Amino acid sequence: MQYRWAWLNEILRGEGRGDYVLHPRCICGHPACERGVAELRCKDCQGCEGFATSCIVREHARNPLHRIQRWDWNESCFDDVSLRDLGLRFCLGRELHPLLVCPHPRRAPGKIFVVIDSNGLHTVDLWYCDCGKGPSFPVQLLRMKWLPSTGKYPRTAATFNVMRQYHLLSLESKCSMGEFYKSLSRLTNNTGDPPQTHYQEFMNMTRIWRNIQMLKRAGRCHETDGINQTKLGACALECPACPHPGKNIPRDWKDVPPERRFIYALFLAIDANFRMQRKDVSSEAADADLGNGLAFYGEIEAYMEHLAKHWDQPQPKSTCVAHDAVNSPNKEVRGTASSGVGTVDCARHNMKRPKGVGDLQQGERYLNMDYMFFKTIEDLDIQLFFVSYDIACQWHKNIWERMKIYSQGIRVENGRRFFVFLVPKFHLPAHIESCNISFSFLLTRYVGQTDGESPERGWSNINRLAGSTREMSPRLRREILDDHFNDWNWKKILAMGVWMFDRISDYIPAMVKTRGDTLEQERSLPAETLTEWKAGVAAWEASETAPNPFERTTQQMSMESVRFDIAEAGGGVVRGDTESSDMLSQGIKLEETQRILKFDQAATGLHPTLQQKRIMLERCSKTRRKILAWQDLQTSFMPEVAVLRAAEATARAEASGINPVAGDLVQDIPLLLPSALAGDVACLLELQQFELRLREGQAHEALHEMRHQLLVRTWAYQYKDAQVTSNRDVMRSLTKIQGINEQIKRSQATYNVARRALEVLGPRVGEMGWARVLKVLQEEDVRQMPASSRRTEAARPISWIWLADGSAADADRNVAMNEALRIEWAKTRALGLRNTEEVELLEEEMRRTPVYLRWRADWWDSQKIHDGPTQRPDLLHDAVLREGHDAYATRQARIMRSIATRFERKWATIPARLVEARVQVEAAEAAAAADAREAASPDAGREEDPDTDTEMDPGEDADEDADEDADEETESEEAGGSSGSGDE
């Protein structure tokens, strides 16, 4: 702050002539200089030297694009003046002797030749070499590193510097050509008098530059007629971490065992983006074609011909949820020629696939997406594909039947290749339950921790182009998107070193931990049960027709499922628009609201804040209004409760002189559901039966929530012990655990209320089957599933709450019959396998990436012009052009090798860490196997003295510690609010 005054003074000093006020003579020191008045200076040269007119022209003979200022003696300030106006003639054609002028120069056509540079627009008095010894006029410009606007008689050019600047700036910031050109125009004149526009020429030059750079980087000029002979997709950057036979995987990769084939699988992700629309402007015929099908977009003529031929192909409705992409494939967007863009990406590394992009016309039709999918894999010699698509559950049906409409060259032999179709992790919860099991990445073998969401990440980058590309011609738009997709791929390649290191660093410990968790869980299960479950999982992984171990065969009971069953059977008595089952359900929910209010009011302590008081009063008032409205509805179904309320009101009013409802605490207002009525009070049997069924569902919901919170609490304690060190973070973790304990207590209270109601209603209606599953809940029953702390110690018996799955079977049945435990074990095992697979995939990808980069470097070396057989025999006798081609190939090869070396240095510690982690896993597996053998031994446990107290196992200890900590935290936080309250 203290330097602003001095710095501002210096900047203002620069507005004048500086030291030349006192010494106004030219500083050049040239022998021909006559020490004239220093009235000129250059804005682009370093320093503020002053020159006379003849001297500054001589000094800038090879810098015609510098900006000059002249001192106005009348106005006493500097004005802009061009070197052209000062008499500079700029001549081309003499590379070795640039200051020598051609004996027969020829002025550039037109009055003014405009050169666009990064510092603005410049007018130049340009002369070509026309003596017959120099190259063509456009080539003379190119050798000056100026890009001509046309190939014959250009009147405008742009420097390579400004082309590179705009190209990189557009890739990073997504700025439009119009915005960039306006900035150059303002650099030239920012007073509202801009120079004559050359925007169209600039747009043409940027398009030419973009296309030339793509071809150069693909090595197309290193082959004879390389541009015209370029194969489709050849200019797209490939993913170096994906498998490429002949480039980065062993020759015998097809001979690996079936369980190892996944490391050579290709992971693909399909998606559509409807933000990338294009208005119905211009046409294919009205625009030049510079890169049709050379990169990510397929060949447009073949694509459009295919769509026109099969446009009437029917698309069946969704059998899952109502996916708009499936049910509305012909949805039109008015005024658009393209409703969006579809793409096929590398699902593992977030890179665009060659020939895997296409424009959509009306929604997300299978016809479009099939073409992109089959086109991008048509040339691949890969045997296993994992394909992710947010509507894969529908799209994969009949895909091989739909494939028959394609030509023989694009078809995929399904018998020779294997495809697994999945739904991305983020999109999966929106699908029906069966899809959440059959198309889950987590539950599918050999996919690691791939999430299938790579297109979404790519869209977040490319969506910033939606505004600038919406009104472009179709060909220009495809060229720009191809260019940005290539840049996206390049940035992903450069980031692979850090990305893979960070990812495998996360999953190595995760692999060890989740494998240990699985083994620990299996120790508490009977050996026969575990063997049966493992056999079931193996059968399902081998054949999809086998029973799915993650799927329930019985429906989990809940209040919602009970209400559905009642509604399906008729719903009971109707009063107005409400059925009796709905009335009872509303009453049970109000009862739950009262219970939550009571918990939250107790949690605020003895000295609540004004805000806590206000929130509690508002909640109580809202709940009271709901109760009063519900009581009116209840009276229409149960008129007898009106008599009970009136009698109680009269008695209490006589005793206290207050209105009983208005005076009672809202959480204490009796709702008088059928289970709360005395046995001699008349009540419809149907209402009692309905409440019993609803209470049974409520009890199972409470048990489910209790089990969930117990698992969450165990994780929270493990996280606190392993990760939390500072006092602040410890207190934050304890506050979170306190909230979890509050949720457990609420679930306990809900279960106890539901069971007491069942105890009343069961004998009345003659239904007691629930009692075999829903036992009396004691405090010691609320505990986590146990784990064995010693190999010689039997696991603590599992609490019955983990065995109550909603069926009315005998509660003493074998654990193997319990689906909840089986599914929990299967998911834990699946998570461990996915983490192990992820580490194995990353290990292979970290091997493949440097191998591919070095293969690419060798490929560039092979593009050099040799004296023997070569791809460019026309260059054998042109030493100058030959050296340029070889120099570029050498530089590209060096870049590829340097990236590979950098990655390997970054990953140098990973092999040792992998060995250490696998030793830990093997040790844990050996310990588990020893435990299993000891448990199976007939002498197991005989030496233990029954009178000797055994040490408590870790699972029990952690659970009891949780309860003790919760009690201590409740006492210490007595004056605060509950973080577990989720009702506000």
Q: Examine the domain organization and report whether 397 and 481 are in the same domain.
A: yes
* CA atoms 694, 697, 703, 709: torsion sign: negative
Residue-level pLDDT at 816: 40
Domain annotation covers residue 507? no
Nearest residue to 93 (alpha-carbon basis) of 108, 83, 115? 108
117-139 per-residue burial string, b: 16 or more CB within 10 A, e: under 16 = bbbbbbbbbbbbbbeeebeebbe
Instruction: Express as a percent the part of the chain with pLDDT over 70.
Output: 85
Q: What is the mean pLDDT of residues 47-62?
A: 89
Through-space distance between the first and last CA atoms of the chain, rounded to whole angstroms: 48
Determine contact, residues 465/484, Cβ cutoff 8 Å. yes
Domain end marker among 787, 820, 835? 787
* 908 assigned to some structural domain: no
Query: Quick one: pLDDT at residue 324?
Result: 63
- Burial environment of residue 65 by CB neighbours within 10 A (0 to 12, 13 to 18, 19 or more): buried
pLDDT at 528: 84
Using CA atoms, how far apart are residues 516 and 513, in angstroms rounded to an integer?
5
674 and 737 share a domain?
yes
Check: CB of residue 801 under 8 Å from CB of residue 777: yes
Whether residues 62 and 131 fall in one domain: no
- Please tell me the predicted confidence (pLDDT) of residue 567: 72
pTM of the full predicted structure? Answer: 0.76
Smallest Cα–Cα separation from 316: which of 428, 197, 204, 398? 398
Dump pLDDT digits (tens) for 494-533.
999 999 999 999 999 999 999 998 998 888 778 888 898 9
Total domains, the chain: 4
Q: Is residue 713 included in any domain, yes or no?
A: yes
pLDDT at position 235 is 96
What single-letter DSSP state applies at residue 328? -
Cα dist. 815→670, 706, 954 in Å?
Answer: 41, 19, 21
Asked whether the predicted pLDDT for residue 491 surpasses 90, the reply is: yes
Please check the confidence at residue 978 and state whether its pLDDT lies above 50.
Answer: no
Q: Which helix (H) or strand (E) holds 528?
A: helix 527-542
Q: Model confidence over 379-433: pLDDT tens digits?
A: 899 999 999 999 999 999 989 888 888 877 677 766 678 999 999 998 888 888 7
Closest by CA to 962, choosing from 779, 832, 783, is: 783
Q: What is the pLDDT of residues 846-860, one digit of tens each?
A: 999 999 999 999 999
Sequential DSSP letters for 908-974 = TTHHHHHHHHHHHHHHHHHHHHHHHHHHHSTTTTTTS-TTSPPPPPHHHHHHHHHHHHHHHHHHHTT
- Model pLDDT, residue 820: 67
pLDDT attached to residue 526: 80
Given pLDDT bands bounded at 50, 70 and 90, which one contains residue 972? very low
Residues 111 and 257 in one domain: no
Instruction: Indicate if the pLDDT at residue 96 is higher than 90.
Output: no
Looking at the structure, do residues 185 and 294 belong to the same domain, yes or no?
no
Angstrom distances, CA of residue 968 to CA of 319, 738, 961: 53, 10, 10
Both 39 and 117 in a single domain?
no
Tell me: do 141 and 273 sit in the same domain.
no
Rounded CA-CA distance 84/127 in Å is 12
Percent of the chain beyond pLDDT 90? 45
What's the confidence (pLDDT) of residue 941?
47
Mean pLDDT of 909-928: 95
Residues 465 and 356: their CA atoms lie apart, in Å, by 19
- Clarify whether residues 35 and 179 are in a common domain: no
- Higher-confidence position of 326 and 148: 148
**489 and 347 share one domain:** yes
Is residue 858, in this structure, part of any structural domain at all? no
pLDDT tens, residue by residue, 457-475: 999 999 999 999 999 999 9
Please compute Rg for the chain using Cα positions. 39
DSSP assignment of 844-897, as one string?
Answer: HHHHHHHHHHHHHHHHHHHTS--SSS-S-GGGTT-HHHHHHHHHHHHHHHHHHH
Lowest-confidence range among 24-38, 62-76, 920-934? Answer: 24-38
Q: Which domain holds residue 150?
A: 93-217
Q: How confident is the model at residue 681, as a pLDDT? A: 79
Give tens-digit pLDDT for 286-329: 888 888 999 999 999 999 999 999 998 888 887 886 666 565 65
What residues have CB less than 8 Å from 642, skipping those under 6 apart?
635
- Asked if 761 and 675 count as a contact pair (C-beta separation under 8 A), the reply is yes
The whole-angstrom separation of Cα 440 and Cα 433 is: 11
Q: Are residues 212 and 305 in the same domain?
A: no
What is the per-residue pLDDT across 150-170, written as a single tens digit (0 to 9) for each?
988 899 999 999 999 999 999
What confidence tier does 865 reach under pLDDT thresholds 50, 70, 90? confident
Q: Is residue 980 part of a domain?
A: no
Angle at 395 between CA 390 and CA 396, to 5 degrees: 110
- Say which range, 87-101, 429-443, 501-515, 784-798, has the weakest mean pLDDT: 784-798
Same domain, 59 and 102: no
For residue range 572-622, list pLDDT tens digits in order. 677 766 788 888 889 999 998 888 888 888 877 777 888 888 888 888 989
**Distance, C-alpha 138 to centroid of its chain:** 47
480, 496, 512 - which closes a domain:
496
Q: How many angstroms separate the Cα of 331 from the Cα of each of 371, 608, 611?
A: 19, 56, 50
> What is the rounded average pLDDT of the residues 801-814?
50
Instruction: Return phi, psi of residue 9, to 5°.
Output: -60, -40
Instruction: Answer yes or no: do 469 and 585 share one domain.
Output: no
CA distance 937 to 683: 60
- How many Cβ atoms are within 10 Å of 770's Cβ, its own excluded? 21
Provide the pLDDT for residue 189.
Answer: 92
Last residue of a domain, one of 757, 787, 817: 787
* Distance in angstroms (rounded) separating the CA atoms of residues 207 and 438: 47
pLDDT at 646: 82
For the chain, the 3-state helix, strand and coil shares in percent, each to the nearest 5, are: 50, 10, 40
What residue spans of 300-365 are helical by DSSP H? 300-309, 324-327
Quote the distance between the C-alpha of residue 449 and its chain's center: 13
Query: Does residue 407 lie within any of the structural domains?
Result: yes
Per-residue pLDDT at 267: 98
pLDDT value, residue 791:
32
Looking at mean pLDDT, say which of 309-323, 324-338, 535-549 comes out highest.
535-549
Residue 568 has what pLDDT?
66
Is 308 contained in some domain?
Answer: yes
Q: What is the mean pLDDT of the chain?
A: 84
Residue 754, in any domain of the structure: yes
